[in-house]
Amino acid sequence: MKSTLKRTWAEIDLDALDYNYQTIRSHIGPNTKFLGVVKADAYGHGSVQIASRLQDLGADYLAVSSIDEAMELRFNGITMPILILGHTPKEQVDRLICFNITQAVTCKAKADEYNQEALKYGGTLKVHIKVDTGMSRLGYLCNDEHFDTGVEGIVEACQWPGLQAEGIFTHFAMADEDNPVGREYTHAQFALFQKVIQAVESKWGQRFAIHHCANTGATVDYPETYLDMVRPGLLLYGYGAYAKKWHLKPLMTMKTTVSTIKVYDPGTHVSYGGIYTTDKKTRMGVIPYGYADGFLRSLSNRCQLMSEDGPVQQRGRICMDMAMIDLTDKWHVDVGSEIEIFGPHQSLDDWAALAGTIPYEIVCAISKRVPRYYYQQGKIISKELLLRM
């Protein structure tokens, strides 16, 4: 990566990834497989770097959303098993087989298409069958009156010659809701999933090699759901209440610099719409960090960042490429000074709560023009800029 401008950047701590991986491993035990979710560019952390480290650490599987995400990993040296959780067009089945990528099968129509394309190609597509136990998104419907037809459809897919049904899985909708409703719903989903597995394997006459359903919330709070493999997402990256329960470490620190400082008189309107007006002589800094970088506009005039002299308040409406911060009493902060957006001194979880969202959205929103610096043992080992130069 080469950039002529150090404006705003992310620092990724790979030692924290190692620590989180080993900590989660210690909880799930040696006989449970570990699938690392690296979709959405590893939640904004850089999928190639994160996947490469997980491969070195001994993870068993990776999960992505699309064939493009899978191919990016294959083209960058990732050889371990990869599961695509989302849709892949039937025209891409030959590539799935050629590059040994596992595909989620979510309904009878998809299974039929994939089987036919695999037979045309002269190969076998490895698949994991998705069961809809209550997420109401993707998967074979198997609840109530749909149970028998759902089971029959899954068995049929398992028997088709173009498909190798390695796994079966479901996704919990409320495993991260720590209340009676969430717990009851999760237990009901898990019970239905087990019932489906038993019925399918009995009719099929075979056992799936991998059964999995434990996402982040279930990995921490529902050890009975581990089965053959767990799928930690945000947990792996060290954010959220569940990461705090296991004392995991956040991987990312976001930083920027002060590019300009101006002093305004009382009564000066700041930024678009004039939602902030100075009430005294104000020393205002401009940082090159805006909503095009991932700074949520909903945080305008509401959040604080961290300087070497302590917290600084963001003022006025956040712009596309920059934002303003109040440096009135921060005399050690000058042009070029580093500002921590979130990190060790400024919690991402607190920011998410303030924005009325979840940490996932903030890290996934970090744009491709923000360079990522990868650290190990306190030293930069790699740099990545997604902009084409």
Say if residue 257 is in the same domain as residue 231: no
The pLDDT tens digits of the residues spanning 43-59 come to: 999 999 999 999 999 99
- The per-residue DSSP string of 141-202 comes to E-SGGGHHHHHHHHHHHHH-TTEEEEEEE---SSTT--SHHHHHHHHHHHHHHHHHHHHHHH
Q: Which of 5-9, 82-86, 119-123 has the lowest mean pLDDT?
A: 5-9
Check residue 73 and give its pLDDT. 97
* Domain presence at residue 15: no
* % of the chain surpassing 90 pLDDT: 92
Helix (H) or strand (E) holding 282: strand 282-287
Count the helices and strands in the chain (H runs, E runs).
13, 21
137 is in an annotated binding site: yes
Q: What is the mean pLDDT of residues 98-104?
A: 98
Claim to verify: residue 39 and residue 93 sit in the same structural domain:
yes
Say whether both 380 and 282 belong to one domain. yes
Of the candidates 5, 8, 6, 35, the one whose C-alpha atom is nearest the C-alpha of residue 290 is 8
CA distances from 290 to 43, 92, 272, 314 (A): 19, 37, 13, 11
Residue 274: its pLDDT value, please? 93
**H or E segment and range at residue 254:** strand 252-257
* Catalytic residue positions, numbered: 39, 272
Nearest to 160 by CA among 124, 207, 132: 124
Over residues 58-79, the mean pLDDT reads 97
Q: How many residues does this entry show for the chain? A: 389
Mean pLDDT, all residues of the chain: 95
DSSP state of 258: -
Looking at the domain assignment, is residue 12 inside a domain? no
Which residues are 168's β-sheet partners?
129, 211
Q: Give me the half-sphere count of Cα atoms (radius 13 Å) on the Cβ side of residue 267.
A: 0
| Nearest to 360, CA basis, from 213, 288, 252 | 252
In this structure, is residue 82 part of a structural domain? yes
Q: What is the tens place of the pLDDT at every residue in 319-328? A: 999 999 999 9
Domain that holds residue 112: 32-237
CATH of the domain at 288: 2.40.37.10
User: Which pLDDT band, with edges at 50, 70 and 90, does 1 fall under?
Assistant: very low
